[in-house]
Chain A
Amino acid sequence: QVQLVESGGGLVKPGGSLRLSCSASGLSITDYYMTWIRRAPGKGLEWLAYINSGGRTIYYADSVRGRFIISRDNAKNSLYLQMNSLRDEDTAVYYCARDDYLLSGASAIWGQGTMVTVSS
């Protein structure tokens, strides 16, 4: 079955850290840009970060730059998001997505999402 599966979400206190994982099965992420996107409760989608296939090209949204770190391990077919200095406003469902270069980078395959709740 072709899928991306996120894990690592949960409840964390403000200022805390969490590491999300995105594991691919039935498909390879090796040659693809990968992206993290979130949706906060009652809000819309927010693009957070992407990483190129080799892991050298990375870009973050202003809202997470300096606090979140995107990384990947192609040997494990996995993507990660290290989230530090978490704030209440980081509460959201976090999705990983594979960006397809044949579709001009469109996020064509998405995971089911993992919920992160930041609360004291």
Chain B
Amino acid sequence: DVVMTQTPLSLSVSPGQPASISCKSSQSLLHRDGKTYLYWYVQKPGQSPQLLFYDLSSRFSGVPDRFSGSGSVTDFTLKISRVEAEDVGVYYCMQRLHLPFTFGPGTKVEIK
């Protein structure tokens, strides 16, 4: 199975400051169709998980543009340019190229 790792596992950020989460996969997520099957989700307290990005860097509808997804092949990054209080939650990367699909362990983002 593809192992997804994330660093850090927890992050405490002051409002208005940037935040960055790294995700690495044990196998390439670049498909021959040119897409990278890397996704980002967030689970906010008391809520169901919600999609942030698909295809590495395609922002899902309604996701603020202070969020960005980047990377390639096996190394990926989720960035928040200016953290807001509503961004509190656990952020997961996930791969959908190799079965079984797998999530990273999650990065808990808190506000200082």
Chain A positions within 8 Å of B89 at CB level? none
Chain B positions within 8 Å of A111 at CB level? 48
Tell me whether B1 is interfacial, beta carbon within 8 Å: yes
Out of A45, A59, A107, A110, name the residue touching B99 (CB < 8 Å). Answer: A59
> Which label, helix, strand, loop or mixed, suits the secondary structure of the A interface?
strand
Q: A45-B106, A104-B54, A110-B50 are in contact. Are A62 and B100 (CB under 8 A)?
A: yes
Report the Cα distance A98→B4, complex, angstroms.
Answer: 22
The A-contacting residues of B in range 28-75, CB under 8 angstroms, are: 35, 37, 39, 41, 43, 48-51, 54-55, 58, 60
- The number of chain B residues with a CB under 8 A from chain A is 26
The B-contacting residues of A in range 27-46, CB under 8 angstroms, are: 37, 39, 44-46
- The number of chain A residues with a CB under 8 A from chain B is 22
Establish whether residues A45 and B43, one from each chain, have CB atoms under 8 Å apart when the complex forms: yes
Minimal Cβ-Cβ distance residue in A for B96: A105
